[in-house]
Structure 1
Amino acid sequence: MPTFTSHDGAILHYDLIDDEACGEPLVVLAGGAARHPAYLGDLAGLSSVRPLVVLHQRGVGESAEAGPLMAWPELAHDVEALRRHLGGGQQDLLAHSAGTRVAFAYAASHPQHVRRLCLVTPPADYLVDVEDDSRAMVMARSDEEWFPAFAEAVPALEAASTPQEHRALAHLIAPLAWGTWDEQARAHEAVGDFYLDAAGAFFSAPVPEALAERLASCGAQVLVLAGERDALTGLKPVLAVADLFPRSGAVVIEGAGHYPWVERPEDFRSAVDPFFGTDRG
């Protein structure tokens, strides 16, 4: 597994998934927070047209923990070190879920180094001031078989304050992330371990001052992908993320939840391929 040395001397790992693809690498930031990036797979075959460089964030997978530098704003420094390791110049980024926090921090602090940025189902309630429609999306599914157990656990979910407590209840929340809670969804939920110490460290710092305003200085092309049925994030807050950037667009993947490359791989690729210059025609 390839490695690089970050700004503080830490040795960090990344997966290189290329399927003999040519062209510049696409740097991929996983979510979770602090979930092993194995859950991303090859992003519905995107690795066949762009080499994927999938970072193992500090404390996850093969990358060692590094104390106070594991909070999400600090992880942007690792993305910059990875850019330099890959040869410098502008880079393309794809980030999923909590990984979009790191992408936001990086785009705000190094806007000149980002050429294209794809944000897949980004949680955004901390960043945008729009109606959160996630609760309505949850209630619209109250007739599904998993809902009674979820509803009964809501007080415990609201009281959970640590990554360990949240993880213990994760099986009750999991259906919210899927357009259809079926065998495919259940199988995918088991892929990619969660690193709970790293998750706690990830959220240990506040949102950087004026983060949303600073994103307006990022001239990168930005694509926001939203899952039509993603009850974890809601739909309106995700779409509002596009308004934070001067050159942006948003695509809603119909029928999908938080993992559109799994549920709607063709629709996912139809949106992402032309954005990254890999239109399949």
Structure 2
Amino acid sequence: MSAAAGTGSSAVVESHDGIRLHVDVIGDDALPPLVVLAGGPARHPVYLGDLGGLSIRRRLIVLHQRGVGRSESGSSTAAASWPELAEDVEAVRRWLDVDRLELLGHSAGTRVAVSYAARYPHRLDRLCLITPPATWLVDTDDDSAEIIARHAAEDWYPGFLEALPALLAAPDSASTDRRLLSLSKCPAVAPIAWGEWDDTAREHERLGAWHPAAQDAFVHTPTIDEVEDIRDALRTVTAPVLVVAGSEDGLTGLAPVVDLAKRFPLGQAIVLDGCGHYPWVEQPRSFAAAVHGFFPIG
């Protein structure tokens, strides 16, 4: 299927090692393409929807991560770790036949986006990172505990405290983001991702199946040298970069997310007050004002 697939269509992209990857194509054929990476890790990207109407500005090319949804997993676990998943993004760029790529990642998908930026800085036209876990890449203290504690009066808080030992027993943040990994295994953690844990939040949490094998393959513990190499590479990114943070995001914290924007020469951070990890759901108007403006038409 060609890259000119229409609204609500799909396509198959062959990656560098022959693995067949599925992409959903959302938006008008005439619009510029924007490659979209879902989080989880390894969550079906249906939970993204069309990112609060972003499809009116861009044709969204939503990639199913290896082993997720309709994408093949392959036999190489190494190729499915978050640094190496950047090569699948490069395969999509080649399939689109564009010299420079517009790229958007949410949550754990931003790790892949950052890896792509580090490997292919000259192939980026714009980069948008939505509520990215950033403690692995920046030196700013994680303030997520303080954000979560602000919700101590909520009905869900005792259940979260009860689940906390299992959360802390999950892989630590040096290997991957244990709170994000635990969402699929520990539903009591879900409310910390929201500014307000209401019916809208509960309904959204039901979207997007998690894929444990792909989740495990995603995990990679970067060495100190690897982190420094990525930091150095990000300084060479000449494309504009937008980082979107939620002031009430108990999954990522706020300070590290804002600090991530400073790693890019043309990075900027926008904080949505009162918002959590899914800003296009909680604050669609504010999200649209921030993100739609970053992707101009014409």
TM-score range, shorter chain: over 0.9
Q: Secondary structure at the match of 2:243?
A: strand
Residues of 2 paired with 1:169 and 1:57: CA distance? Answer: 19
Q: What are the superposed Cα offsets for residues 157-197 of structure 1, whole Å, 9 maximum, x if unpaired?
A: 1113499x935643111000001000000000000000010
Determine what percentage of the aligned residue pairs are the same residue.
50
AA partner of residue 232 (structure 1): L
AA partner of residue 65 (structure 2): Q
What is the Cα deviation at residue 278 of structure 1? 4.1
Q: Counterpart of 1:65?
A: 73
The answer to whether the 8 A contact 1:118-1:222 is kept is yes
Trace 1:1-281 onto structure 2 (pairs within 5 A): 1-18=10-27, 20=28, 22-66=30-74, 67=76, 68-161=78-171, 166=182, 169-206=185-222, 208-210=226-228, 211-278=230-297
What is the Cα deviation at residue 153 of structure 1? 1.9
AA partner of residue 186 (structure 1): R
Report the aligned-residue RMSD. 1.7
AA partner of residue 267 (structure 1): S
Q: Secondary structure at the match of 2:35?
A: strand
What is the Cα deviation at residue 49 of structure 1? 2.1
What is the Cα deviation at residue 273 of structure 1? 1.2
The answer to whether the 8 A contact 1:16-1:51 is kept is yes
The TM-score with structure 1 as length reference comes to 0.94
Residues of 2 paired with 1:122 and 1:161: CA distance? Answer: 18
The answer to whether the 8 A contact 1:72-1:205 is kept is no
The answer to whether the 8 A contact 1:30-1:95 is kept is yes
The answer to whether the 8 A contact 1:21-1:50 is kept is no
AA partner of residue 159 (structure 1): A
Q: Secondary structure at the match of 2:260?
A: helix
Q: Secondary structure at the match of 1:252?
A: strand
What is the Cα deviation at residue 10 of structure 1? 1.1
Unaligned runs of 5+ in 2: 1-9, 173-177
Q: Secondary structure at the match of 2:83?
A: helix
AA partner of residue 56 (structure 2): S
Q: Secondary structure at the match of 1:217?
A: coil
Residues of 2 paired with 1:234 and 1:218: CA distance? Answer: 25
Residues of 1 paired with 2:182 and 2:58: CA distance? Answer: 35
Q: Counterpart of 2:7?
A: none
What is the Cα deviation at residue 23 of structure 1? 2.3
The TM-score with structure 2 as length reference comes to 0.89
Residues of 2 paired with 1:5 and 1:149: CA distance? Answer: 44
AA partner of residue 24 (structure 2): D
The answer to whether the 8 A contact 2:23-2:63 is kept is yes
What is the Cα deviation at residue 205 of structure 1? 4.9
Q: Deviation above 6 Å: which 4+ runs of structure 1?
A: none
Unaligned runs of 5+ in 1: none
The answer to whether the 8 A contact 1:71-1:205 is kept is no
